[in-house]
Amino acid sequence: MIINSITVRPGKGKSSGVALVLVIAVTFLVSLLIGLMMTQYILKRRQIQTVRQKIQAFYTTEAGLKKALYYLRHAEIKGSSWRTGDFFQDSPIREKVFYDRDDEAEISVLDDFAFLRIRSRAVGQIDQPLQVLIAGVMPEAMKSNLLLVSAQPLILYAGSQLNGLIKLNHEPIYQGGAVNGILETGTTLTLPDILDKPFSSSAEYMKYLLGHPQYFEVELHSPRVFSPQNPLPANRVFVNDAVLLENRDPDLSWRPKNNLTLASTAEIQISGWTIIANAKIAAIGPVRFLDNSKVISSYVYSETGIEITGSANISGMLIAPEIKISKEARCLNPTIIYCGPPFKAGRITLNNDSLNQCCIVNLNAGKNSRTEIIRPAKLEGLVYSRAPITLSGEVTGYVFGQTFYEANLLPDTTKTNILTGIIKQADTSDVLTIPVIFEGIRDFRIIQWLNR
């Protein structure tokens, strides 16, 4: 009998097992690598898609802003008085913004004190709304350096000087003054029509804040002093008494709160080196800005009066029955100073030693109402006043009024039209920031991006 022998070589089975393990490991690693690559590819695709959606949402939102401006510029469609709501309630409109796409933008157009706030948001896309603050651009038809609508002739005293385009109802009486420019006279002159609702609704809103402490995060019941050592407790603070915001350290740049809303049933004083930006400040009593305080892009309302003195600087909107700027204090562009309804009288006085860049609107023509720009005060901007104007200082820009007077010359000068100051022609290369209150405005410009 023959037996076949089988030779078993040591290690062969073990090598096969190792090889199998290696194959599985390599396969797993390759699969993992492919999985990672696929995951990375998918994530990258999603990131690209998200970026594309964000870009498209931005273009849609931006187109919404442009469409709102288009409507405002074309009186035959909606016109400059078109709004979608007010401070208390808004009903945005939806508009298709591209010719060959269904993309829609939700658009709001609201009065923001003397300016316009336009808000746009892409509907159904990534939510990244845009908000801008809009000012008017002076139309060519309104560019009269002086427009005086009065039954009395203008008397030009020694030192007075009128430059640019001058429009009067009557030939002026020269008593030492001069006209260097184009003089037009006519009996049919009228002041530009005004939309006073932006001011009245603004005053109504600030008055609402003073009567509704429940709107605020914190309500306090005694006089308060806030400083770097004792900061405000919240962004919206209501105080049933007087308030002082003060920073005594010139080396410390202290901003109490950004987007602060502060209301007082008494008075508010801001002094030292305090800096406030994008705030709403409302008081039943007077509001005072002293020393080296700075108030930037803020709204200030007082039912008594506003005083800016020392070396204080301010920009924004001032609403009160009496507003005074004195010493080295000044207003910076864009600033609107307003006296008018709901107040029964309005007195605005610039008696400072600095250049003011602002627009003055005084709609009160009643007793004790005045608009005063007293030497050495200088103003670059616009003056629109139904109250008598005292001008012994200097205005570079535009003055629209009904009466001039000079209290130091005669006991009763409310109807004498005496001018002792200077009106100069504005540099045509400068774009004057004016409130959106004139019916004739058809051009606008962005003065602030509110969420960029």
Domain with CATH 3.30.1300 in the chain: 23-136+442-452
pLDDT at 390 over 90: yes
Q: Render pLDDT for 313-332 as a digit per residue (tens, 0 to 9).
A: 999 999 999 999 999 999 99
Supply φ then ψ for residue 79, to 5 degrees.
95, 170
Is residue 412 pLDDT above 70, yes or no? no
Top-ranked range on mean pLDDT: pick from 94-98, 204-208, 241-245: 241-245
* 8 Å CB contact between 110 and 83: yes
Q: Sign of the C-alpha dihedral, residues 217, 221, 226, 230?
A: negative
DSSP-derived secondary structure letter, 78? T
* Nearest CA among 204, 161, 195 for reference residue 375: 161
Nearest to 238 by CA among 208, 258, 273: 208
Unique residue bearing structure tokens 């950004």:
258
Write down the pLDDT at residue 255: 84
Whether pLDDT at 1 is above 50: no
Provide the β-strand partners of residue 337.
Answer: 318, 360
Dist CA 369 CA 353 (whole Å): 23
Angle among Cα 414, 166, 189 to the nearest 5 degrees reads: 70
127-183 pLDDT per residue, tens: 778 888 888 888 888 889 999 999 889 999 999 999 999 999 999 999 999 999 999
Report the pLDDT averaged over residues 189-211. 86
Amino acid identity, position 367: K
Angstrom distance (rounded) from CA 373 to CA 160: 13
Q: What pLDDT, on the 0 to 100 scale, is given for residue 130?
A: 86
Residues 6 or more apart whose Cβ sits within 8 Å of residue 431? 137, 445
Per-residue pLDDT averaged across 417-446, rounded? Answer: 81
* Distance in angstroms (rounded) separating the CA atoms of residues 219 and 155: 55
Share of the chain above pLDDT 90, in %: 49
Two structure tokens written together for 368: 């004790």
Render 278-329 in DSSP notation, one character per residue: S-EEEESS-EEE-TT-EEEEEEEEESS-EEE-TT-EEEEEEE-SEEEEEET-
430 near 122, Cβ under 8 Å?
no
The arithmetic mean of pLDDT across residues 340-367, rounded, is 90
Beta bridge partners of residue 247, listed in sequence order: 272
The pairing of strands 104-112 and 93-96 is: antiparallel
At 410 the pLDDT is: 62
Dihedral angle sign, alpha carbons of residues 17, 19, 24, 25 = positive
What is the number of helices (H) and of strands (E) in the chain?
2, 32
Amino acid code (one letter) for 230: N
Looking at residue 233, its pLDDT comes to: 93
Q: Is the pLDDT of residue 10 over 60?
A: no
Bridge-partner residues for 327, per DSSP?
352
pLDDT at 124: 77
For the stretch 221-253, what's the b/e string if a residue is b when 16 or more beta carbons lie within 10 angstroms of its beta carbon? eeebebbbeeebeebbbbbeebbbbbbeeeeee
Average pLDDT for residues 185-205, to the nearest whole number? 84
CATH no., domain 23-136+442-452: 3.30.1300
- How far apart, in whole angstroms, are the C-alpha atoms of residue 64 and residue 334? 25
Predicted confidence band at 2 (pLDDT cuts at 50, 70, 90)?
A: very low
- Min mean pLDDT across 144-148, 199-203, 243-247, 343-347 is at 199-203
Task: Name which residue leads in pLDDT, 214 or 52.
Answer: 214
Q: What is the pLDDT of residue 94?
A: 86
Q: pTM for the whole thing?
A: 0.84
The rounded mean pLDDT for the chain is 86
User: pLDDT per residue over 68-125, tens digit each?
Assistant: 888 888 877 777 678 888 888 888 888 887 777 778 888 999 888 888 889 998 887 6
